[in-house]
Structure 1
Amino acid sequence: MSIELGKFNTLEVVKTVDFGVYLDGKEEGEILLPTRYVPENCVPGDLLNVFLYLDNEERLIATTLTPLVQVGEFACLEVAWVNEFGAFLNWGLMKDLFVPFREQKMKMQVGKSYVVHAHIDEESYRIVASAKIERYLSKETPTYQAGAEVDILIWQKTDLGFKAIIDQQFPGLLYDSEIFQSLRTGMTLKAFVKQVRPDGKIDLILQKPGAAKVDDFASSLLDYIKEHGGAVKLNDKTPADDIYQIFGVSKKTFKKAVGDLYKKHLIVLTDNGLKLA
C-alpha cells in the first residue's frame, strides 16, 4: 500500500537518529519524523500515525501535528504572507499552504481568511489550495433524507442566504428567512437537510425539522428548569437572541416547547417566567 501525501498514514519506525526517527515510506523510501514530534519511548518497530507533507526543500516529512485541513478537504484559513507567486495560508504546520494566484477568486490579503480546498497539484506534486470552491464540490446526486443531520462549513453570503459545504462534499443553502442566529464565512456547525430538490440542490435549516425538534427541546427545557431550582425568568417576551444564546434554538421552537410542557401540566406560567408544576 502506497503512502498518501497530505493525509495521515500509519508507518513503521525503522531507525532512530540524533534528529528524530525514520519511518518506512514504502516505495518513497525512509521519511523523517523530527525529534520534536517523536513520542516518548519510541523505538524501531513502533507504528505511528503521522501526517505527511513536503518541507521547504520539497522533501517528504512527517509530523504528529494535526493540520487545519487535509488533502481533499475544505477549510477556512488565514493568509500568513503573500509574494509574487501567490498567497501562503496558516494551516497549523511549519510550512504554510500555498495558493497560486490562478487559484484565487480575488487577490488574497494578509490577515484575512478564505474558504479553500486542499489538493495535490498534478504538475508539481505539491500540496496546494484553491479558492475556486465550485470546482471541487461533488457532482454526484446526494442521497440525504429530509431531517438528516449534517456538518456544514459556511462558505459565502448570497442574496438568498448563505452557501454552505455539506459533509466536505456537497453544496447547500441556508435561506435568510430561516436563519435565527449570526453566521459568518468559515463557521462550522451542525445543520439539517430540509429537502433535496429534483435537481440535486440541498436546502438546509439550522434546527431539527418537525415535531421531533420540539419534543427534544421540550425535554431539554424541562431539565434546564429543574437544574435552576425549579423556576427560570424566561417567557414569550424574552428576546430571541437571548433564547438562542442559552439554548441554541429559535424563539418559535422555545414557545412551542413551553406550550407542550404547559399542556402536559409539567410547568406553570408566572409573571416572572416558568416554574415547575
Structure 2
Amino acid sequence: MKTPKMGRYAQLNVVDFHPAGALLEGGKLGRILLPSRQVPSDIEINDSIRVFIYRDSEDRVIATTQRPKVQLNQVANLKVLDVNSTGAFLDWGLSKDLFLPYSNQSNKVVAGQHILIYVYLDNEDRLTATTLLDRHLKDFSSDYKLGEKVRLTIANRSDLGQKVIVDHQYWGLIHKDNMRQSLKIGQRIDGYIRQLRDDKRLDISLEQPGYKKVGGLSDQILERLQNAGGYIALADKSPAELIEAEFGVSKRVYKMAIGKLYKNRIITIESDGIRLIDS
C-alpha cells in the first residue's frame, strides 16, 4: 500500500484492535493507532477510515479523525495558546498543540495573539510552524493562466496594495487601485490571475476578469432593471463608488456589462442611467 504522508489526510484500513484503539495499516510507517475515543462504534477489521496523520506528545505517529485547521505545506491564521522558554504553542484544532519555536518567529508572539504561519516538517519529521513565510513561499510562478481561479490567504498590506498567498505556495499582490473590499489577515477567499507579467510575479484580482465576469453581471443588471420598472440611475459615467455599492464590481466591469446589453439592443444608455428598450 501507499505510505500515508505526515501532516496529511489518508484513507487507511483497520487491521486490528487494541485496548488503546484501532490499528491502521500505515505502509512503511507500520501500524498506526487511532485512539479508542475516536474509533466509530460500528467499524470492523478491513473497513477503511479517513484520518489525519501526525505525531503525538510522545513523538509517536498517530491517526486522528479530528480536523486540523491547517495541513503540511499550508498557511493559516492561528491563535497562540501559550508561550514558554522554547517557543509558542498554537491552536490548530488537535489535542496536541502546534509548536512554533523561537527560531521560527519573525517577531515575538504572546498568548491570545493570532498569527499567520506556515507548516513544514522539521529534521525529525515533526510538524512545525513558522512565521518566516519567505523561507517557504515563492515569489514567481509560470503555472497559471490568465483569469484562472485561485485560492487566496490574505497577508499583510504593502505600499503597493494587499499581499496575498496563492494556493499556499506563492506570493501575490492585489494592487491598491483594484481593492474593492475590506480584507483581514488570514482570511481565505477566491481570486483570479489578473495579469501574466513578464517577471512571473502574480498579479491578483478578486473579480473574474474579462467577459466571463460580464456575462453574469449583464444578467444581474437586466433582472434589476425589470424589477425597477425598466430604469436604473447608474450610467457609464456614474461614480465608481456608487457602482460598487450597487453591484459590487468595478466601474470598468460595469461599463463592459451595460455595453453588452446596449449592443444587443436591450437597453439605452442615458446621461444619468440606463433604460430597458420599450419600457
TM-score, normalization: structure 2? 0.84
Identity %: 36
| In 2: Cα distance, 1:249 partner to 1:11 partner | 46
Which residue of the partner structure matches residue 101 of structure 2? 100
Which residue of the partner structure matches residue 172 of structure 1? 172
Which residue of the partner structure matches residue 50 of structure 2? 49
Letter of the structure 1 residue corresponding to residue 91 of structure 2: N
| In 2: Cα distance, 1:147 partner to 1:158 partner | 23
Contact 1:231 1:274 in 2 (8 A): no
Contact 2:139 2:201 in 1 (8 A): no
Which residue of the partner structure matches residue 79 of structure 1? 80
Letter of the structure 1 residue corresponding to residue 234 of structure 2: D
Change (3 A) 1:165 1:231: farther
Q: How far 1:62 moved relative to its partner?
A: 0.8
Pairs within 5 Å for 1:16-35: 16-35=17-36
Contact 2:140 2:202 in 1 (8 A): no
| In 2: Cα distance, 1:58 partner to 1:232 partner | 68
Which residue of the partner structure matches residue 61 of structure 1? 62
Farther-moved stretch of structure 1 (230-239 vs 67-76): 230-239
| In 1: Cα distance, 2:28 partner to 2:263 partner | 69
Change (3 A) 1:203 1:41: same
Q: How far 1:9 moved relative to its partner?
A: 1.8
| In 2: Cα distance, 1:109 partner to 1:99 partner | 12
Change (3 A) 1:33 1:240: farther
After superposition, what is the alpha-carbon deviation per residue over 1:143-166, rounded to whole angstroms, capped at 9, x for unaligned? 322222211111211111111111
Pairs within 5 Å for 1:154-193: 154-193=154-193
Q: How far 1:94 moved relative to its partner?
A: 1.0
Pairs within 5 Å for 1:65-144: 65-122=66-123, 124-138=124-138, 141-144=141-144
Contact 1:172 1:203 in 2 (8 A): yes
Q: How far 1:243 moved relative to its partner?
A: 6.0
Unaligned runs of at least 5 residues, structure 2: none
Pairs within 5 Å for 1:214-225: 214-223=214-223
Change (3 A) 1:149 1:29: closer
Q: How far 1:76 moved relative to its partner?
A: 1.7
Q: How far 1:36 moved relative to its partner?
A: 3.2
Change (3 A) 1:125 1:211: closer
State the secondary structure of the residue aligned to 2:14.
strand
| In 1: Cα distance, 2:262 partner to 2:187 partner | 36
State the secondary structure of the residue aligned to 2:37.
helix
| In 2: Cα distance, 1:64 partner to 1:233 partner | 55
Change (3 A) 1:100 1:217: same
Which residue of the partner structure matches residue 234 of structure 2? 236
| In 1: Cα distance, 2:141 partner to 2:154 partner | 21
Q: How far 1:198 moved relative to its partner?
A: 2.2
| In 2: Cα distance, 1:253 partner to 1:47 partner | 49
RMSD: 3.0
Contact 1:181 1:241 in 2 (8 A): no
Letter of the structure 2 residue corresponding to residue 236 of structure 1: L
- Give the count of matched residue pairs: 273
| In 1: Cα distance, 2:12 partner to 2:183 partner | 40
| In 1: Cα distance, 2:275 partner to 2:63 partner | 58
Contact 2:6 2:53 in 1 (8 A): yes
State the secondary structure of the residue aligned to 2:49.
strand
